[in-house]
Amino acid sequence: MSPSPPEPHYSLDFNARPGEPVRIDAGIVRVIANNPGAFTFTGTNSFILGDARVAVVDPGPKDPAHLDALIGAIKGRKVDAILLTHTHRDHSALALELQRRTKAPLVFAGPHRPSRKTGPFEPNPVGRSSDTGLSPDQTLLDGETIRLDGLGVRVVSTPGHCANHVCFALAGTPYLLSGDHVMGWSSTVIADPDGAVAPYLSSLDRLQAISQTHYLPAHGGEIRDGKRQALALKAHREKRNTEILTALGKAPMSAGELRALIYPDIHAGARLAALMTLKAHLHYLKDEGLVGVAGFGPWQKFRRAKP
């Protein structure tokens, strides 16, 4: 009998100190933005990588106090690049102002885009939270290594949370900057159509193939066994697929009805995230031929496809 997959381990025990530079290891400093919330936990973690010359990863929300904190932590050193794991505004909104202060190029995996083709007049519920007008000075490619002062940063393409998400593996160290792809305080929101389940699952598999095991997420504390957490998050998503199919096998339901059934005790602040992620699961199951759809808009119903 094969062993049961691990359960995700979530911890809310994180002593966040917004604005205070915290040394994680040689050449890795974390500065937390003061933007706590339902989607950001204690705030966005910005990272400063390097020694005599540095790069800034995920400068965070447009907040003058956080900009001052980053400039203070940089300590006058040359900034070679401003790197983004992705282009949700809680990670990227400060990028242009930081660029004006440092003259560093913006480097990320292309402009923001939805993970799937949307229908006519179909809204994106996180559209206002996405930095759709931001373009990179240099576009990251999967597998390339960015050479910083004494540090190699390898790009690991991890779409799923959104289409242009990447993680950064720090060569010769156990550390992976995991962005919003793997976190320790919560499972990742996959907000359809911005995100998609199929690439998210594939991206979790990719992390099993690299050597880094100690994950530094963009929200919350460090994950010391990141590969285990990634494996557990994949099992969690697969379990959710099974729950949806089981529910739809009894009766056709709308996405809202499914949300109420599958997340009966979820607090009000997380209901939208649950609904968006549930819709991403439904699109995945539809593409797999396991779920059928009837109607449109608020009248849309999902049913389990006949074998």
Sheet of 78-83: strand order equals 22-25, 28-32, 45-50, 53-57, 78-83, 106-108, 138-139
User: Can you tell me the mean pLDDT for 150-174?
Assistant: 96
User: According to the model, what pLDDT value does residue 172 have?
Assistant: 94
6-57 pLDDT, tens digit per residue, is: 899 999 999 999 999 999 999 999 999 999 998 999 999 999 999 999 999 9
Instruction: Name the band, by pLDDT with cuts 50, 70 and 90, for residue 1.
Output: very low
User: Can you tell me the mean pLDDT for 179-192?
Assistant: 95
User: Can you tell me the mean pLDDT for 282-299?
Assistant: 88
User: Can you tell me the mean pLDDT for 247-252?
Assistant: 94
Instruction: Name the band, by pLDDT with cuts 50, 70 and 90, for residue 2.
Output: low
Distance CA 85, CA 165 (A): 5
Q: Does residue 168 have a pLDDT over 70?
A: yes
User: According to the model, what pLDDT value does residue 179 have?
Assistant: 98
User: Can you tell me the mean pLDDT for 141-161?
Assistant: 94
Contact (Cβ atoms closer than 8 angstroms) between residue 221 and residue 50: no
Q: Which domains does the chain have, with CATH numbers?
A: 22-227 (3.60.15.10), 238-304 (1.10.10)
Q: Does residue 306 have a pLDDT over 90?
A: no
User: Can you tell me the mean pLDDT for 261-284?
Assistant: 89
CB-neighbour burial class of residue 92 (10 A; exposed 0-12, middle 13-18, buried 19+) = buried
98-138 pLDDT, tens digit per residue, is: 999 999 999 999 999 989 887 777 778 888 899 999 999 99
User: Can you tell me the mean pLDDT for 154-163?
Assistant: 97
53-97 pLDDT, tens digit per residue, is: 999 999 999 999 999 999 999 999 999 999 999 999 999 999 999
User: According to the model, what pLDDT value does residue 266 have?
Assistant: 85
